[in-house]
Structure 1
């Protein structure tokens, strides 16, 4: 691709330097007629470390198995996400980006012992009412070169006029919840997830670090909520090929008690994470069989 910026790794990059760059980079934003350049990072023959996988399974609720949790490749690629989003040519400030939607497509189950090729890319943007959206795309290829897993994370960079006041209405699920479970989300879940996934965003770690970014308390990591939902749904999914999509709605402040709701629909499942009263939707999502 013409003008593509390539980052080729022989091993996963260290995350700490990316955090230092994120803190130091205030982001110049996009000028008129400018867009996010094409930045592509690649790593071949990555092997899963058993101890890291075990830690992730425990914090997210996945049982032991000989295949990876559907959300785990996101964690494998996270250091590459950070390298891309803190590259000197990436024009937006990483701290302050909001993960608004995430879709994973798994074309087959991934064995824990198979080497994987990872490709992470960004490029281009869309102007939306709240600012600028762009896609952070991750692909996992097997030894034959076939793409067996793909993720699109939709990220939002708020504009100056991004806030708008809307009349509050009781949100509707849009599906009939057939099962419901109460989750206790502890105050330390952000730190526990960070230790397993390497995601040390300060808004998830403690009340004092979250307050530096305008939050009254720490909030649960969005990808922990998605992984925890995936673990709860796993016993009801009897296929290997499916998509798992979520929209991140309202933050879960720590600690909290929330309700997980799910219901079967044609060719899949719908689910949501809500407040106990149901008047706040933290996450909504769907599973669709391929």
Structure 2
């Protein structure tokens, strides 16, 4: 059980991921490692920069998605272990769930644990979850589940041009948000996630995209920012990531109140193609 006093540096981890990619031979088990990070103070400048790039108000109360950024280096460390069955390069973040047990303030110190769980088949390959928990004074204040897909040749693939099936968007208020072409670089600088598909059109084209694409977790954060001030202290927000947001773009964020929270839907403002669907469930 690796216990760390400071977050691991992402740059060496990305270099390790690139070098060791051919060494991951697949397998049917995930490593049992549980990464622990000792209590960390919140960097208020970093917090404010995150809030600005994601559309939140600058506040001393952490946005519900901010702790994902602080736990992310532990996730990368786990996924670059030799025992991890898949290379990190090429994995797709397809869904994310965050549970805020209570708001966390910037003057509190936060500890983290991260582990992998539930390797399972998928029509396009295999999926697994990365589970993170944040504790304050020994009590869980926040948790998340990030679901990743490893595409495999034996899996079924969608035919070219196939569109994800999705229900009609909710009838709630819609906000059109302009997404600039540098949002991937700006969010990458804050989150540490500098995957080349998010940075420049040229680097994204090497991976089959016509332009750089926005981070899924930026999209989730920007969607929640549209509901800022209307969410309770305790809730769970589940989202599925659909078609990528090609940069630059304009997205339509729709939210409709439900019996126990909100229904979320994000689409291209021009074409109506789905980018994100999900829900907020009050605890």
Q: TM (normalized to structure 1)? A: 0.92
- Of 220, 223, 229 in structure 1, the residue corresponding to residue 223 of structure 2 is 229
Distance 1:78 1:26 in 2: 19
User: Which residue number corresponds to residue 255 of structure 2?
Assistant: 262
Which runs of 5 or more structure 1 residues have no equivalent in the other structure?
1-5
Distance 2:271 2:258 in 1: 21
- Of 127, 130, 137 in structure 1, the residue corresponding to residue 131 of structure 2 is 137
Distance 1:173 1:224 in 2: 23
- Of 19, 23, 30 in structure 1, the residue corresponding to residue 26 of structure 2 is 30
Residue pair 1:173, 1:272 contacting (<8 A) in 2 also: no
Describe the superposition over 1:5-51 as per-residue Cα deviations: whole angstroms up to 9, x where unpaired: x22101111111111011112253424xx311212100111111011
User: Which residue number corresponds to residue 75 of structure 2?
Assistant: 81
Distance 2:207 2:33 in 1: 28
User: Which residue number corresponds to residue 203 of structure 1?
Assistant: 197
SS in 2 for 1:234: coil
Distance 1:13 1:166 in 2: 39
Distance 1:228 1:262 in 2: 12
Distance 2:244 2:47 in 1: 26
For 1:55-134, what aligned pairs fall within 5 Å after superposition? 55-134=49-128
Displaced runs of 4+ in structure 1, greater than 4 A? 166-172
Shift of 1:175: 5.8
Distance 2:271 2:234 in 1: 31
1:241 aligns with 2:234: yes
Distance 1:43 1:180 in 2: 39
Residue pair 1:86, 1:94 contacting (<8 A) in 2 also: yes
SS in 2 for 1:26: helix
- Of 9, 13, 17 in structure 2, the residue corresponding to residue 14 of structure 1 is 9
Distance 2:90 2:221 in 1: 22
Residue pair 1:171, 1:280 contacting (<8 A) in 2 also: no
- Of 209, 212, 227 in structure 1, the residue corresponding to residue 206 of structure 2 is 212
Shift of 1:73: 0.3
**C-alpha root-mean-square deviation of aligned residues, in Å?**
1.7
Shift of 1:170: 8.7
Q: TM (normalized to structure 2)? A: 0.94
Residues matched between the structures, number = 281
Describe the superposition over 1:215-247 as per-residue Cα deviations: whole angstroms up to 9, x where unpaired: 12110000000010111112322x100001110
Cα distance, 1:171–1:157 mapped onto 2, change above 3 Å = closer
Distance 2:67 2:125 in 1: 29
Distance 1:220 1:175 in 2: 21
